[in-house]
Structure 1
Amino acid sequence: MNRKLLIAVIVIIALGVGAYFAFFGESKMGNQQAHARWISAHTSGTVSAHSPVKVYFTKNIISEDQTGTVVQKGVFDISPSVDGQALWVQPNVLEFTPAKPFENGENYKVSVDIAEMVDSLRVDDYEFTFEVIEQDFTLDIEGIVPINMQKSMMFKVYGTLTLADKAEQEAVDKMLEASIGNENFSIKWEVDNTGRQYQFTVDSIARTEKTRELKISYTGDPIGVSKKGETSYKIPSKDSFLVTGYQVQQYPDQQVTIYFSDPVKRYQDLKGLFSLTTVKNYQVDVAGNRVIIQPDQ
């Protein structure tokens, strides 16, 4: 190959490479500009497994009377694949609702075919990602109290189970078990409006002639969390007066709550019975079977 021919070949290759990058660079920029003109917001970041996926458009894509219409297959894709339905909840809002909750801890990629929705628009699919909350839980057993402060012959234990993400009530019911020996106790649940915080009560624990031990076992298996353990409480005998537990609170106010097996007389002189190291001034209050100690502000 002579020198002139070699130079010509190099020039042609250089022009071809330059044209390739110029074309695809402009194409990518054109996609970004088109996406910005048509899409204003979408689901992003870390979300609940129970949350729908939403895409907000800058303009109405359908008419008002078409609200509730399901989009055709291929217009909205999600990976890993999830069964569900994508429909127009507003003329400019597309929403995908999974048939069952997303997988906790999973990352998902969404692809929206805008060109299929808008006539004469030539643009690549719009893509975005989101992450689902990693499920976890904390268990806080707050104390043991007499059901009837006058007789103190039956006790209840109560506490809070807090989830990182919402879960089905049926699954939560299987997370705790309470027993004394071979005797199992039912657990009552109350959930707050977030669906993440559950107040629980182990009720009707009889006080007998002997001190007994209540075991509360917990497991995260029903909600897909590999965490389990056991805690126990002494149920005092009929004739004993015991400290049954305590709780330290830092917020909103600092205080220590001490639980007793029987009610403490409200106007009893408690001077000298309680002390806090390094704290000279504090208040001692009585509420049923609880003594609450608060350092002065």
Structure 2
Amino acid sequence: MRKQLSPLALCSLFFVFFLAESCSKITKNEAYYLAISKYVYAYTSGAVGRTDAIRVRFVNPAVGSDQVGQKVAGNLFSVSPAIPGDAVWEDDRTILLQPTEPLPYGEKYTGTVALGKLFSGVPKEAKVFEFEFSVRELSFEVVAFGLRTQDASNLRVQQLTGHILTSDPVENTSVEKMLQAKQGNKTLSIGWVHKENNTIHEFYVNDVERGNVRSSVQLSWSGEPIGLDKQGNLEQMVPALDEFVVLSAVVSQKESQHVVLNFSDPILPTQDLNGLIRLDAYDGTLNFAIDGNFVRAYLSSRVIGEKNLRVEAGIKNVAGATMKERSDWPLAFEDLKPAVRLVGRGAVIPQ
């Protein structure tokens, strides 16, 4: 005769399973991280690219040299949901999982390492190490650098330069469909140079006409060719032929902090710009690099905060004509942010 469980027995059974499930979950408190830090040196965390490698690096060797290059046993390391590709021992203390195909944008993953099976004497709270990471969403940014003169002897023909930055590699042909440029009713042709594994896409809007009166170039873009619902536009002022002015001043916050100035005319490369371009309340010196319509002013020491950049009248273009009016440009300078942080909760292992 088949026995039936009473409601009380069912409740008791449910409680047992619930208790077992709860006990199996990892409590990530201070004791957990302190115990883990004695075995795990660094690991992939945060947002990663679709094709980035996943790594876990240990403090001490975990396998012998004969295991380097071999697959990691499934009961030692796993990722959920599964990632296509085999985890291998990159060296005697590093697990490497290189995806064999791009991962889905926005997907979240949990990695698990059985430290208790890799090392002896591991305390209970550190026997299983879990870490989380996700695939960053695809995004892009359009930046216009400014105008430059293609032929210094003919100021009528200009070129608008800039780039599109994508968070992950994308098809070049798709990026080239994202951008359109018009001057008045005229559609302008755009040239491209793709760099950095198809994440930097430089563009050159050709045949911008500089006439006797001011005009503008309308730059518009859409993310639809790369599967994103994002649109935007900007307007680039094109000065008249008799206007010799500063068009923009932008801070580059890189290690060699500098200001990029875009002039309407190519600048005379032999002139001394000291005193003609200066940063108010700055004790350091500025070193200048002239490249056609662009002047880069490099700071001898890093600045943080807001400063005013003054560009004096008197700067000369390649024809020897002098700029008639000075201009002031309020700029924000930032500290250099570290590209990679190592060790700790959510350390990112550099590639």
TM-score of the aligned structures, taking structure 1 as reference length: 0.62
In 2: Cα distance, 1:72 partner to 1:173 partner = 44
Deviations 1:66-113 (A, max 9, x none): 322122445432234332331111011001112234445443211223
Secondary structure in 1 aligned to 2:130? strand
1:167, CA displacement in angstroms? 2.5
In 1: Cα distance, 2:150 partner to 2:34 partner = 67
Partner of 1:249: 250
Q: How does 1:119-158 map to 2 (within 5 A)?
A: 125-158=128-161
* Larger CA deviation: 69-78 vs 279-288: 279-288
In 2: Cα distance, 1:243 partner to 1:169 partner = 39
Asked if the contact 1:188/1:200 (under 8 Å) is kept, the reply is yes
Higher helix fraction: Structure 1 or Structure 2?
1
Q: Which consecutive residues of structure 2, in runs of 5 or more, have no partner in the other structure?
A: 1-15, 271-307, 330-351
* Larger CA deviation: 58-67 vs 202-211: 202-211
1:129, CA displacement in angstroms? 1.0
In 2: Cα distance, 1:229 partner to 1:190 partner = 21
- The residue type paired with residue 248 of structure 1 is A
Q: How does 1:68-83 map to 2 (within 5 A)?
A: 68-73=69-74, 75-83=76-84
- The residue type paired with residue 231 of structure 1 is L
Partner of 1:93: 94
Q: Which consecutive residues of structure 1, in runs of 5 or more, have no partner in the other structure?
A: 1-16, 268-277
In 1: Cα distance, 2:140 partner to 2:238 partner = 26
Asked if the contact 1:254/1:295 (under 8 Å) is kept, the reply is no
Asked if the contact 1:248/1:257 (under 8 Å) is kept, the reply is yes
* Larger CA deviation: 146-155 vs 111-120: 111-120
In 2: Cα distance, 1:33 partner to 1:160 partner = 45
1:176, CA displacement in angstroms? 2.2
Aligned-CA RMSD value: 5.0
Q: Go from structure 1 to structure 2 and tell me whether the alpha carbon gap of 1:33 and 1:141 turns closer, same or farther (over 3 Å shift).
A: closer
Secondary structure in 2 aligned to 1:84? coil
Partner of 2:8: none
- The residue type paired with residue 58 of structure 2 is F
Deviations 1:43-77 (A, max 9, x none): 22344444321111233333323322122445432
In 2: Cα distance, 1:210 partner to 1:257 partner = 19
Partner of 2:316: 286
- The residue type paired with residue 202 of structure 2 is Q
Partner of 1:191: 195
Within the candidate set 192, 202, 206, 1:203 is matched to 206
Asked if the contact 1:178/1:187 (under 8 Å) is kept, the reply is no
In 2: Cα distance, 1:78 partner to 1:279 partner = 52
Partner of 1:219: 222
Q: Go from structure 1 to structure 2 and tell me whether the alpha carbon gap of 1:89 and 1:294 turns closer, same or farther (over 3 Å shift).
A: farther
Partner of 1:54: 55
Asked if the contact 1:256/1:294 (under 8 Å) is kept, the reply is no
- The residue type paired with residue 206 of structure 2 is D
Partner of 2:169: 167
Partner of 2:276: none
1:126, CA displacement in angstroms? 2.1
Secondary structure in 1 aligned to 2:72? coil
Asked if the contact 1:144/1:244 (under 8 Å) is kept, the reply is no
TM-score of the aligned structures, taking structure 2 as reference length: 0.54
Secondary structure in 1 aligned to 2:264? strand
Name which one, 1 or 2, has greater alpha-carbon Rg: 1
1:157, CA displacement in angstroms? 1.1
Asked if the contact 2:146/2:236 (under 8 Å) is kept, the reply is no
Asked if the contact 2:193/2:203 (under 8 Å) is kept, the reply is yes
* Larger CA deviation: 77-86 vs 141-150: 77-86
- The residue type paired with residue 69 of structure 2 is G
Asked if the contact 1:257/1:293 (under 8 Å) is kept, the reply is no
Asked if the contact 1:144/1:245 (under 8 Å) is kept, the reply is no
Q: Go from structure 1 to structure 2 and tell me whether the alpha carbon gap of 1:245 and 1:103 turns closer, same or farther (over 3 Å shift).
A: farther
Q: How many residue pairs align between the two structures?
A: 259
Asked if the contact 2:41/2:59 (under 8 Å) is kept, the reply is yes
Secondary structure in 1 aligned to 2:151? coil
| Higher RCO (Cα < 8 Å, 6 or more apart) | 2
Identical aligned pairs, as a percentage? 20
1:284, CA displacement in angstroms? 4.5
In 2: Cα distance, 1:280 partner to 1:185 partner = 35
Partner of 2:108: 107
Determine if the alignment matches structure 1 residue 259 to structure 2 residue 264: yes
Asked if the contact 1:179/1:214 (under 8 Å) is kept, the reply is yes
In 2: Cα distance, 1:143 partner to 1:32 partner = 50
Q: Go from structure 1 to structure 2 and tell me whether the alpha carbon gap of 1:244 and 1:234 turns closer, same or farther (over 3 Å shift).
A: farther
